[in-house]
Structure 1
Amino acid sequence: MLAAKTCCHLPLRTLQLQGRADHWRVLKTLSTIYVTPTGRRAYASQAADGNKAVLVTGCDSGFGFSLAKHLHDKGFTVFAGCLLKDKGDAGVKELDNLNSDRMKTVQLNVVKQEEVEKAVEIIRDNLKDPEKGLWGVVNNAGISTFGEVEFTSMETYKEVAEVNLWGTVRVTKACLPLIRRAKGRVVNISSMLGRMANPARSPYCITKFGVEAFSDCLRYEMHPLGVKVSVVEPGNFIAATSLYSPEKIKAIGDKMWAELPEKVKKDYGREYFDEKISRMNTYCNSGSTDTSPVINDVTHALTAATPYTRYHPMDYYWWLRMQIMTHLPGAISDKIYIH
């Protein structure tokens, strides 16, 4: 921490890049000062024996589905919140087919207060000892979209925020009385885009920046009460999460273009718009399909005696890019996006 603080107070001229050699010297310095990606950390000793109960939201697919199965295998009692439980989704059926008294799927749309309250009631009724509380909640449920600011409707901004940000707040507040009793854990799934902005992703970035702020405020408040709060900031795992498909990207793009005001269409032009859609298609074909770094980090946050404040399951490219965007002056970091 001392080194990081000292770096932040260096004269600006020492951070000015003067050619390739200085550029790499600064990057090398950053890589030694700041926490490196998860895979290079020395993990703390494990504190929990796994015989505890946790709620995981967004378990229909993606991180949540994999995490629910993983935590069950580790001995946890898992309450898997599923948006589509009442519709008999395939992911829900697979979890139910485990036929385990330690795997309980619950209907949970994090946007609906009544469903959140009912889910917490089910959890309380099924805890072995409600007085000992609920060990953990993992706020994983989320949605995403894309589109430049002038292309994105206010309805889209509100829809994404309702799930990613207010859903996280809503579920956390409902669970906190049980979490406090257990002196347990809150683990919020954010994103590298909760630390650095990205063109055409403002609805998503706004919500994840909000999750970061909420998590920090909650961590300060819960520390005296023995509750630990961690944030997991995955890198590019878009290929593993089923958030997008070429068909979905096309559908979003077609709807977006159809709803644009004529003035905006005229000013930007269809060629510009289509080029942005093409970039999104390229991005969605990239990224890791192995979710294990994220799953392992969440597990560590739930079980370690001293969990980390933030976890960075991402490859070195994205980790280094995040350090540049968050720690170097804007005149330098902006060059990544502004040409």
Structure 2
Amino acid sequence: MAPRPARYPQQDSSAGRYIYCITDFLHQLTEGRAGEFYEMLSARYAHQYKTTYKHQQPTGVVFTLSCRTRMIWTYDKTEEVVFWGCVSVLLAALLHVLGLCSWWTVFPTTWLLSGGASLILSSLTVSSSGKAVLVTGCDTGFGNSFALILDRLGFRVFAGCLHAGGEGANHLRREGSSRLHVLQMDVTNQEQLDKAAQEVKHLLPEGEVLWSLVNNAGLSAFGEVEWVPLNTYRKVAEVNVFGVISVTKTFLPLLRRARGRVVNMSSVAGTIGRGVMSPYNLTKFAIEGFSDCLRQEMMAWGVSVILVEPSNFSAATNINAQQWISEQGDQMWGSMSEEVRADYGKDYFDTLVKFAKTQANSGEKDMTSVLHAMTEAVTKRYPRVRYHAFDCYYFFKQKAVIHLPEWLSDLLYITRPPLRQLSQQKTTAQTKLD
């Protein structure tokens, strides 16, 4: 398809380009060349980055990242298109009942225009020029990889690390450009946060702004409620909740002046409760509520607040390392009262710890879907409030748990092996106790 530089000038306003796109789409559709139009649209608006590099995490996970911001089809986009399809059905039915238009005329036209408009608007990006992004938790996992992606996209990056002299921080220094700055940042230490804020102000050149804050630092823990010591709940909440709040409050003045955005890393665990994961679950539910409140408050300042909700990426991030699980298991068993130990039994406890270790290497090993969601949250001109980075299983599980009666969703998802076996062991232990 030949380019049309005269009709698609780079300096056109967003509204002008949008009108051109819709007009040309209808024209190409009538000629049966919608596929060629999509290719043109991707090339024109996606600003594809061809840089592809093999990235090795400090944890040893190797995967290939493609630094580009072109539109990739996701479950979020599917939901959006289906939503506008439902709206179009209702509108077409109403106009048909009123005798104003034919249903077969209104429905496809409305769906095409509304669905196409939503996809076009969601593909528009902001320029990285003059913008800086602060990412916490860059020692390993999502944060380490995402800092390098932002660097390659042209942003100035402030990578907050718990250990600024550690392997992950040194990896960023080696792989990143001069725009990537590693900061010592323990999100639970306000003194370090204040010092990091001063460093950010000092390192920001004249004319650059802090465009985005990505709260990525996190900690996980497992165990049944009766097992987990209170200090474990406090430790996880200190990082996952109060750490997020502290970092946000520290850098929010800079973000407000830039009319930028806050990106909070939540989880599917922030929408779906799961037994033996209460220390982690409660913090992610808290982040969901905190983000919704902050989003409403920041509307007046033009600051966007965005949530990214990954599913299970334990294998990719090593957030639940087997050594960490063993240490938690020893701590839990040692802190239990004799009564609780007797009620649950050592066999049941050991079975669940063993199950937790097998789950440590479960889930997705490729972080691309999460990194893409994080990239869209930072770079899109009209970002979504929530980005869901999970597969088909978690897509339907989340919908089922939220919308179905609890007895039905529990039957579908809670009583599957090996949790069913663990439940039977617990019932047997209770019967003996009675």
Instruction: Answer whether TM exceeds 0.5 for this pair.
Output: yes
DSSP-derived class of the 1:251 partner = helix
Q: Note if 1:48 corresponds to 2:86.
A: no
Q: How does 1:244-255 map to 2 (within 5 A)?
A: 244-255=320-331
Residues 213-263 of structure 1, C-alpha deviations (whole Å, 9 max, x = no match): 000001111112111110000001111112122222222212211221111
Q: Which residue of 1 aligns with 2:75?
A: 37
Unaligned residue ranges in structure 2 (runs of 5+): 1-72, 81-118, 421-434
Q: Which residue of 1 aligns with 2:301?
A: 225
2:185 corresponds to which letter in structure 1?
L
Q: Which residue of 2 aligns with 1:65?
A: 144
The separation in 1 between residues aligned to 2:321 and 2:182, in whole angstroms, is 26
Cα drift, residue 329 of structure 1: 1.7
1:126 corresponds to which letter in structure 2?
L
1:37 corresponds to which letter in structure 2?
Y
Cα drift, residue 337 of structure 1: 1.9
Residues 267-305 of structure 1, C-alpha deviations (whole Å, 9 max, x = no match): 110011111112212222211111111111111111111
Cα drift, residue 45 of structure 1: 2.4
Q: Which residue of 1 aligns with 2:336?
A: 260
Shifted more, 197-206 versus 45-54: the winner is 45-54
Q: Which residue of 1 aligns with 2:242?
A: 166
CA contact (8 A) 2:318 2:360 kept: no
Taking a change above 3 Å as real, the CA distance of residues 91 and 38 of structure 1, as seen in their structure-2 partners, is farther
| Alignment RMSD | 1.7
Q: Which residue of 1 aligns with 2:256?
A: 180
2:326 corresponds to which letter in structure 1?
K
Rg (Cα) greater in structure: 2
Which of residues 174, 192, 198 is equivalent to 1:97? Answer: 174
DSSP-derived class of the 2:160 partner = strand
* Paired residues, number: 302
DSSP-derived class of the 2:396 partner = helix
The separation in 2 between residues aligned to 1:128 and 1:296, in whole angstroms, is 28
Q: Which residue of 1 aligns with 2:319?
A: 243
CA contact (8 A) 1:164 1:207 kept: yes
Q: Which residue of 2 aligns with 1:134?
A: 210
The separation in 1 between residues aligned to 2:368 and 2:192, in whole angstroms, is 30
CA contact (8 A) 1:38 1:297 kept: no
1:209 corresponds to which letter in structure 2?
F
Bigger RCO (CA 8 Å, 6+ sep):
1
Residues 72-104 of structure 1, C-alpha deviations (whole Å, 9 max, x = no match): 01111000000011xx21111111124632100
The separation in 1 between residues aligned to 2:349 and 2:288, in whole angstroms, is 31
2:314 corresponds to which letter in structure 1?
I
CA contact (8 A) 1:215 1:229 kept: yes
Shifted more, 90-99 versus 171-180: the winner is 90-99
The separation in 1 between residues aligned to 2:366 and 2:133, in whole angstroms, is 23
Q: Which residue of 2 aligns with 1:214?
A: 290
DSSP-derived class of the 2:123 partner = coil
Cα drift, residue 38 of structure 1: 4.4
Cα drift, residue 331 of structure 1: 2.3
The separation in 1 between residues aligned to 2:358 and 2:349, in whole angstroms, is 15
**Alignment TM-score, normalising by the size of structure 1:** 0.85
The separation in 2 between residues aligned to 1:67 and 1:215, in whole angstroms, is 21
Q: Which residue of 2 aligns with 1:315?
A: 391
CA contact (8 A) 1:240 1:289 kept: yes
**Alignment TM-score, normalising by the size of structure 2:** 0.67
Q: Which residue of 1 aligns with 2:366?
A: 290
